[in-house]
């Protein structure tokens, strides 16, 4: 809130005087002009997001009507299908199944990934040990690895959870690692000069300083994890949302197939949004203060 920031009447005083002129609050002439109500509604970010969503849905509807491909349903058909799979409980049932490897995989990736990444950032030894694995894993062709995973762990929950982890973990680990490694040196020296112990330096300085990049990694990693969950269900055995997609494709019920894809995407976006909120609430008080 810019008004709030400039609204301070008392500029800071000097050590002795109160006329340190560089600090004076800007006068009226410098105040921001308030836009009119209509203009501020038109440029509000919610209005803009809504408009862009409407434009996207409209383009989709038009593309479905043309049609680009007989296998591409219109937006309204997809919405109708979404309504019907929601109403008959098949979507909820599918989610209940898909969520198991997804949730398990994401929790493992987040906890282990951040832990490992931070450990690598703090100690060069761990870095040498672990970083090659994740750099390789990040570029691994997952589809080629799946037969190996199935061979080793079967077609059940374990394999699907592993697929989620392979997708989610590398970016979480590598981001956490880079975040810790790039803590400003002067902040660490500041901590040491004010007698912080090593553990206090880690918890009070390194982790808070690293948290924005760690969370960026978590958001990217979780999005990949969602892809991994569906990929696992498509490539290992069709269950849950993957089954819904495979089955509706096999009977050429494309609206339902797209509805299933859309719903998992929407869920993913929602999840990542919640993650962002958690970050700001717990770790970035300065962002709360300025937004």
Partner 1 sequence: MTALAHQFFADPSPVTDCAVSVLDVGKIYAEAVTALEHINVDFPRGQLTSLLGPSGCGKTTLLKIIAGLLPASSGEVFVNDRPVAGPGPERAFVFQDFALMPWANVLRNVAFGLEMRGIAKSEREQIARGYIDQVGLAGFEARYPHELSGGMRQRVGLARALAVNAEVLLMDEPFSAVDEQTRRKFQEDLLSLIAREKKTFIFVTHSIEEAVYVSDRIVLLSPRPGRIAQIIEPAIERGGDPDAIRRHPVYLDTVDAIWQSLKTYLE
| Tokens coding 50 | 């809504």
Among 138, 140, 135, 155, residue whose Cα is nearest residue 232: 155
Query: How many DSSP H helices and E strands does the chain contain?
Result: 14, 0
What CA–CA distance (Å, rounded) separates 183 from 204?
12
C-beta of 14: minimal distance to partner 1 in Å? 5
Which is nearer to partner 1, 49 or 290 (by Cβ)? 290
C-beta of 22: minimal distance to partner 1 in Å? 5
Of 101, 121, 191, 217, the residue at the interface with partner 1 (CB under 8 A) is 191
What CA–CA distance (Å, rounded) separates 141 from 55?
35
Of 13, 31, 44, 198, the residue at the interface with partner 1 (CB under 8 A) is 13
What CA–CA distance (Å, rounded) separates 233 from 242?
5
Of 90, 200, 253, 261, the residue at the interface with partner 1 (CB under 8 A) is 200
Of 108, 130, 178, 196, the residue at the interface with partner 1 (CB under 8 A) is 196
Site string (255-284) toward partner 1, x via CB under 8 A: ----------------------------xx
Answer whether 233's CB lies under 8 Å from 160's CB.
yes
Of 22, 27, 70, 141, the residue at the interface with partner 1 (CB under 8 A) is 22
Taking the CA atoms of residue 35, residue 39, residue 44 and residue 47 in that order, the dihedral angle to the nearest 10 degrees is 170
Q: Which residues bind partner 1 (CB under 8 A)?
A: 5, 8, 10, 12-16, 18, 20-23, 184, 186-187, 189-197, 200, 204-205, 208-209, 211, 283-286, 289-290
């Amino acid at each position: 809130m810019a008004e709030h920031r400039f609204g301070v009447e008392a500029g800071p005083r000097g050590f002795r005087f109160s006329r340190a002129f560089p600090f004076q609050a800007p006068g009226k002439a410098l105040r921001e002009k308030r836009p009119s109500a209509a203009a501020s509604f038109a440029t509000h970010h919610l209005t803009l997001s809504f408009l862009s969503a409407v434009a996207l849905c409209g383009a989709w509807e038009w593309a479905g009507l043309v049609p680009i491909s007989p296998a591409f349903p219109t937006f309204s058909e997809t919405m109708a299908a979404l309504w019907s799979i929601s109403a008959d409980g098949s979507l909820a049932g599918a989610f209940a199944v898909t969520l198991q490897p997804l949730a398990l995989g994401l929790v493992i990736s987040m906890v282990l990934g951040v832990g490992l990444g931070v450990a690598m950032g703090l100690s060069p030894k761990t870095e040498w040990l672990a970083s090659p694995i994740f750099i390789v894993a990040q570029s691994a062709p997952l589809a080629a690895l799946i037969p190996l995973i199935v061979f080793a762990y079967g077609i059940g929950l374990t394999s699907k959870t592993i697929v989620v982890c392979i997708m989610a973990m590398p970016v979480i680990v590598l981001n956490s690692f880079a975040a810790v490694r790039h803590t400003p040196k002067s902040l660490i020296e500041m901590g040491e000069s004010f007698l912080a112990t090593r553990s206090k330096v880690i918890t009070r300085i390194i982790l808070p300083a690293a948290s924005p990049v760690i969370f960026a990694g978590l958001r990217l990693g979780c999005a990949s994890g969602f892809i991994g969950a569906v990929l696992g269900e498509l490539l290992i055995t069709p269950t849950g949302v993957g089954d819904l997609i495979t089955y509706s494709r096999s009977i050429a019920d494309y609206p339902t197939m797209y509805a299933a894809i859309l719903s998992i995407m929407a869920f993913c976006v929602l999840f990542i949004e919640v993650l962002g909120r958690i970050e700001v609430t717990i770790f970035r008080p300065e962002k709360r203060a300025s937004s």
